[in-house]
Amino acid sequence: MEEVQHHNKADSLWVVIDGDVYDVTKFQRLHPGGTVPFLEVAGKDATEEFYGLHRSEVLQNPRFARLRIGSIDGKPPPKVASLTPFAEAHGFWRRHSPYYNQSHHRFRAALREFVDREIRPDSIQNDEEGNYPSQELSLKMGEAGIIASLFAHGRADLLKALGFATLPGGLAVDDFDDFHELIFAEEMKRIGTYGLADGLYGGTAIGGGPVLKFGSKWLVEHIAPPLIRGEKRMALCITEPYGGSDVAGVHATAEKTADGKHWIITGVKKWITGGMFADWFTNLCKTKTGHTMIVLPRESGVVTKPIKTSYSAAAGTSYVEFINCKVPLEYTVGKEGNGFFYAMANFNRERWGMVASGNRMSRLMVEECFKWAMQRKVFGKRLIDQPVIRFKLGQMAAEVESIHSWLEDVTYQMTKMTPKEESTLLAGPIAMLKYQQTRVATLVSDNACQIFGGRALTRSGMGQMVEKFQRSFKMQAILGGSEEIMLDLAVRQAIKHAGTNISKL
- For residue range 191-249, what is the model confidence (pLDDT) as tens digits? 989 899 999 999 999 999 999 999 999 999 999 999 999 999 999 999 999 877 778 88
Question: Under 8 Å CB-to-CB from 302, ≥6 apart: which residues?
Answer: 281, 296, 320, 321, 322, 325
Long-range contacts of 166-169 (CB under 8 A, 24+ apart): 167/107, 168/107, 168/110, 168/111, 168/114, 168/144, 169/103, 169/106, 169/107, 169/108, 169/109, 169/110, 169/111
Kindly tell me the sign of the dihedral angle through the C-alpha atoms of 336, 338, 344, 346. negative
pLDDT at residue number 278: 97
pLDDT at residue number 143: 97
Domain boundaries, the chain: 2-71, 90-228, 234-339, 349-504
- CATH number for 2-71 (one of 3.40.50.620, 3.50.30.30, 2.60.40.10, 3.10.120.10): it is 3.10.120.10
Instruction: State how far the Cα of 122 lies from the Cα of 396, in Å rounded to an integer.
Output: 28
Residue 357's nearest CA partner among 467, 198, 135 is 198
Question: What CATH architecture is 90-228?
Answer: Orthogonal Bundle (1.10)
Task: Residue 296: count other Cβ atoms within 10 Å of its Cβ.
Answer: 25
pLDDT at residue number 92: 73
Instruction: Give me the residues of the chain with pLDDT under 70, please.
Output: 78-82, 499-505
According to DSSP, the β-strands at 8-9 and 377-378 are: unpaired
Residue 294's nearest CA partner among 308, 283, 306, 307 is 283
SS3 283: strand
Q: Tell me, what DSSP letter sits at residue 200? A: I
Strand partners, 14: 23
Residue 210's nearest CA partner among 164, 266, 150, 261 is 150
pLDDT at residue number 380: 86
Residue 286's nearest CA partner among 257, 260, 255, 258 is 255
What totals of helices (H) and strands (E) does the chain contain, helices first? Answer: 20, 15
Burial of 100 (C-beta count, 10 Å sphere; 0-12/13-18/19+): buried
Longest C-alpha distance within the chain, in Å?
Answer: 90
The yes-or-no answer to whether 2-71 and 90-228 have a common fold is: no
Strand partners, 306: 318
pLDDT at residue number 95: 76
Query: How would you label 187-196 residue by residue, b for 16+ Cβ within 10 Å and e otherwise?
Result: bbbbbbbbbb
Instruction: State how far the Cα of 481 lies from the Cα of 151, in Å rounded to an integer.
Output: 23
Residue 415's nearest CA partner among 175, 178, 102, 99 is 178
Q: Around 254, how many Cα atoms within 13 Å sit in the side-chain half-sphere?
A: 28
pLDDT at residue number 502: 52
Strand partners, 183: none
pLDDT at residue number 462: 84
Chain centroid to CA 126? 14
How big, in percent rounded to 5, are the helix, strand and coil portions of the chain?
A: 55, 15, 30
User: Domain 349-504 belongs to what topology?
Assistant: Butyryl-CoA Dehydrogenase, subunit A; domain 3 (1.20.140)
pLDDT at residue number 51: 83
**What separation in angstroms does the CA of 114 have from each of 120, 168, 251, 362?**
9, 9, 41, 22
Residue 185's nearest CA partner among 176, 196, 197, 174 is 197
Burial of 454 (C-beta count, 10 Å sphere; 0-12/13-18/19+): exposed
- CATH number for 234-339 (one of 2.40.37.10, 3.40.30.10, 2.40.110.10, 3.40.1280.10): it is 2.40.110.10
pLDDT at residue number 61: 81
- 314 neighbors 273 (Cβ within 8 angstroms): no
Instruction: State how far the Cα of 228 lies from the Cα of 236, in Å rounded to an integer.
Output: 16
Instruction: State how far the Cα of 166 lies from the Cα of 202, in Å rounded to an integer.
Output: 22
pLDDT at residue number 417: 92
pLDDT at residue number 446: 97
